[in-house]
Structures are given as C-alpha cells and as structure tokens.
Structure 1
C-alpha cells in the first residue's frame, strides 16, 4: 500500500511541475497547453470564415461551458485524478502479472520505436484509433457507460469546443481499455505520441465545428463534420438505436463494419438524445448526473 501511495504522491507533484512547465515554456513544439490553444483558435477562425449554419451565433449555445470542459478535461482532470489513477492502476496490473511470473513484456509483440519512424507512427495511430472506435461503441451500448457519455451528447449546437465536453469517467474507460493493446506493441516515444495526439485533436475539433465539409473521397477514411453531426442526431434510425458513425479520427471503421449513416445534409438536424430536456445544464450537475440516475436503455 505504501508503494501505491508513493506513486500517487509522485504523480501529483510530477504532473503539477509538468503543467507549470507547459504554461510557462514556449520553447518546445510538443507543448500540449499552447498546442490546444493554437488548434482551437485555428478551427474557430475556420468556423467564422466558413460557417455551415450561418445563423448560429459566434458564441454559440454553451460556448463557455464547452471551453471550460476543454481545459478541465485536458489539463485539470489529469491533475485531480487521472495521472495518479492511471499510474497506480498500471502498477497494480503489473504486480498482479508478477504474481504469476509474467510481465507486460511477456506479451509484447514488437517495439514500434525499432521500426522505421513512419511505419511505427502508423501502427500506433491505427491500433489506438480502432480500439477507441470499439470503446466508443461500448459507451453507447452499455447503459452504465451511456449515462456518462450523455454529457458529450448533451450538446445542442455544434462547435469546435464540443469535442472535449465529456464526463471525466470517459478517459478512464478509454485509457483502461487502450492500456494493454498499446503495451503489447510498446516502445512509444513522447514526441511520437504528441504528434499523433495533436493530429487527433485537430480532426476531433473539425468534426464538431460549424463547418460543412466532408473532404470528398477522403470521407471514407477520415471522420468529418458532415458525418459526425449524424452521430449527435437526436432521432436515430430504427436499425441503429444505439448510435451511428462511432469514428473518432477515422471513419473507415464505420464503413467497414456498416455503422456509417449519412442519409442527407444534416446541417439543421436536432441534436441530443431522448429525454435530454431534463438533463442538467451546468458543469457540476452534469458531472454528478451518472451518480444520481440509474442506468437504463434509451428508446
């Protein structure tokens, strides 16, 4: 137990020092704090220059709430719980494997950093995106998880910052499921992870932005605003009551596994979910919602 408490303490102090360095340093390209700000401003400018819904306000409904979510989930959440939790869970998992004479290296297929850089990055990106696509499906199909995912689907007007409106439990679920597959291929360098992460954030921001783009033929590979808005549609087709278009960065999984759905121009469709009229409108109560309401299947 003392070992785990030490891990938690080191995680808090380590991440605090890291966060201060992120905010006060401009000297390296993989700075997550300013990287997020630059990407957000760039996509917001695109929304202003090329608005899909021309009558949508510049500071749309819940703009400031989503902006707070964006910084809370990307930075403060890590400080409050996520880094300490993930480091501790990883150590516990390794200790359990050790009891039976195993370690994560026992399952490692190869190390991507021993491959040519472009190939290693591609494998890392593809594996992570496919695992997260499947995790996203779980968030819709498992009632307990869907109650947390409702926070993201409570968005009523789409804009870039809606990308990072989600309950703090979501990254716990995503990272827990992703931990073992990435450990199996192992050997990632921090700058490689940053490069992929910035690309994913950019695509995610664009998916939620007030932009009427589908990237032409590339829509069958990359998720896009015209496709993703149907993922947020309040009224779902009868054949897919749990949802459609689960892709995060890539759309190809939806086309391969027949969960794609773009029946028409979705510019003005109603967003949300059944019963969202009574869903909390403020941050604190949205975070508390899953604890107050028993999970149930949505009709």
Structure 2
C-alpha cells in the first residue's frame, strides 16, 4: 500500500513541476501549454477569416465555457486526478501480471524505436486513432457512457474550442483502452507522443471549427468540418440510432466500416441530442450529470 501512496504523491508533485516548467519555458517545440494556445489561435483566426456560418458570432454560444473546458481538460484535469490515477492503475496492472509470472514487455509485439522514425510514428498514430475510433463508438452505444459523452454533444454552435468540451471520465476510458495496444508497440518516446498529439489536436480543432472545408480527395482519409458536423447532428441518421462519423483524426475508419453519413451540406443543421434543452448549462452541473441521472433512474 505504501508503494501506491508514493506513486500518487510523486504523480502530483511531478506533474506540478512539469506544469510550472511548461508555463515558464517557451524554448522547446513540444511545450503543450503554448502549443495548445498557438493551435487554438490559428484555427480561431481561420474561423474569423473564412466563416462557414457567417451569422455566427466570433464569440459564439458557450465560447467561454468551451475555452474553460479546453484548459481544464488539457491541464488541470491531469493535476487533479488523471496522472495519479493513470500511474496507479498502471502499477496495479503490472503487479497483477507479475503474480502470474508475466510483465508488460511479454505482450510487446514490436518496438517502434527499432523502425525508421517515420514508419514508427505512422504505426503509433494508426493504432492510437483506430482504438480511439472504437472507443468513440462505445461512448455512443453504451447508455452509461453516453451520459458522460452528452457533455461533448451539448454543443449547440460549433467552434474550435468545442473539440475539448468533454466530461473528465472520457480520457479515463480512452487511456484505459489504449494502454495494452500502445504497450504492444512500445519503444516510443515523449517527442513521438507530442508530435502525434499536436497533429491530432490541430485536426480536432479544425473538425469542430466554423469552417466549410472537406479537404477534397483527402476527405476520405482525414476527418473534416463538413463531415464532423453530421456527427453532432440532433437528427440521427435513418440507418443508425447511435449516430455516425465517429472518426477522431481519420475519417478512413468510417468509410471502411460504413459508419459515414453526409447526406447534404450540413452548415445549418441543428446540433445536440434529444431533450438537450433539459441538459445542464454550467460546468459543475454538466460534470455531475451522469451521477444525477443514475440517482434519478434508481428512484424511478
């Protein structure tokens, strides 16, 4: 037990030191804090210069709420719970494997550090994105997970910051389901993760931006604003009660597995979900929503 307490304490102190370093150090390219700000300002600038919905305000509905979500989920959440939880669960998992004479390295299929850099990054990105695509589908199909995911789908006007409006339980699920696949392709370093992460953030921001872009032939590979708007449509596709277009960075998976749906130009479609007018409007109430729903179901 003492070991796990030390892990939790070291996680908090270590991430706090890291966060302070990110804030005061601007001389390295993989600085997540300033990287997020730069990407956000660039995509916001594109929204202002090339707005798809021209009558949508620059400071659209819930702009400041989404901006708070963006920094909370990207930084404060790690400090409050995510790093400590992730490190503790990782150690518990390794200890459980050791009981049966195994280790995480037993599952390692390939080390991308032994491959050419570009190929290693490509494999890491493809595996990560495919797992996240499947995780996203689960968020729509399993009722208790959908209650968490409703936070993201409560967006009523799309803009770049809506990308990072999500309940804090979502990254817990994503990281948990990514753990084994990423361990199987071990050997990547922090800069590998940063490179892929920045690319994914940029595409995610663009997907949610007020932009009418589909990237031409690349639309069959990369997720894009004209495709992703239909993922947020209030009216569900006639062939699926769970929605469509689950791509995180790549649209490829939706085309391969027939979950794509772009019936027409979706510029002015209504966003949200059934009964979203009853969904909480403030941060605290949205974070508590899944548990309040659970309590109500028990009472009924």
Q: TM-score, normalised by structure 2?
A: 0.98
Give the equivalent residue in structure 2 for 1:222.
Answer: 222
SS of the residue aligned with 1:186? coil
Give the equivalent residue in structure 1 for 2:245.
Answer: 245
Give the equivalent residue in structure 1 for 2:255.
Answer: 255
Once the two structures are superposed, residues 257-278 of structure 1 have per-residue CA deviations (whole angstroms, 9 ceiling, x without a partner) of 0000000000000000001010
Give the equivalent residue in structure 2 for 1:211.
Answer: 211
Aligned-residue offset at 1:237:
1.6
Give the equivalent residue in structure 1 for 2:122.
Answer: 122
Aligned-residue offset at 1:96:
0.2
Give the equivalent residue in structure 1 for 2:276.
Answer: 276
> Which stretches in structure 1 are left out of the alignment for 5+ residues?
none
Aligned-residue offset at 1:110:
1.1
SS of the residue aligned with 1:240? coil
Aligned-residue offset at 1:243:
1.1
After TM superposition, the structure 1 = structure 2 runs for residues 69-88 of structure 1, keeping only pairs within 5 Å, are 69-88=69-88
Q: Distance in 2 between matches of 1:170 and 1:243?
A: 18
SS of the residue aligned with 1:61? coil
Give the equivalent residue in structure 2 for 1:195.
Answer: 195
SS of the residue aligned with 1:287? helix
Once the two structures are superposed, residues 244-298 of structure 1 have per-residue CA deviations (whole angstroms, 9 ceiling, x without a partner) of 00000000000000000000000000000001010000000000000100399xx
Aligned-residue offset at 1:7:
0.2
Give the equivalent residue in structure 2 for 1:101.
Answer: 101
Aligned-residue offset at 1:24:
0.5
SS of the residue aligned with 2:57? coil
Give the equivalent residue in structure 2 for 1:30.
Answer: 30
SS of the residue aligned with 2:64? helix
Q: Which runs of 4+ in 1 moved over 6 A?
A: none
Give the equivalent residue in structure 1 for 2:172.
Answer: 172
Q: TM-score, normalised by structure 1?
A: 0.98
Give the equivalent residue in structure 2 for 1:231.
Answer: 231
Q: Distance in 2 between matches of 1:148 and 1:170?
A: 7
Give the equivalent residue in structure 2 for 1:11.
Answer: 11
RMSD of aligned Cα (Å): 0.8
> Which stretches in structure 2 are left out of the alignment for 5+ residues?
none
Q: Distance in 2 between matches of 1:132 and 1:202?
A: 16
Aligned-residue offset at 1:27:
1.1
Q: Distance in 1 between matches of 2:93 and 2:26?
A: 36
Once the two structures are superposed, residues 169-226 of structure 1 have per-residue CA deviations (whole angstroms, 9 ceiling, x without a partner) of 0000000000000001111110011000000000000000000000000000000000
Give the equivalent residue in structure 2 for 1:285.
Answer: 285
Q: Distance in 1 between matches of 2:107 and 2:68?
A: 40
Aligned-residue offset at 1:238:
2.3
Q: Distance in 2 between matches of 1:275 and 1:238?
A: 19
Give the equivalent residue in structure 2 for 1:182.
Answer: 182
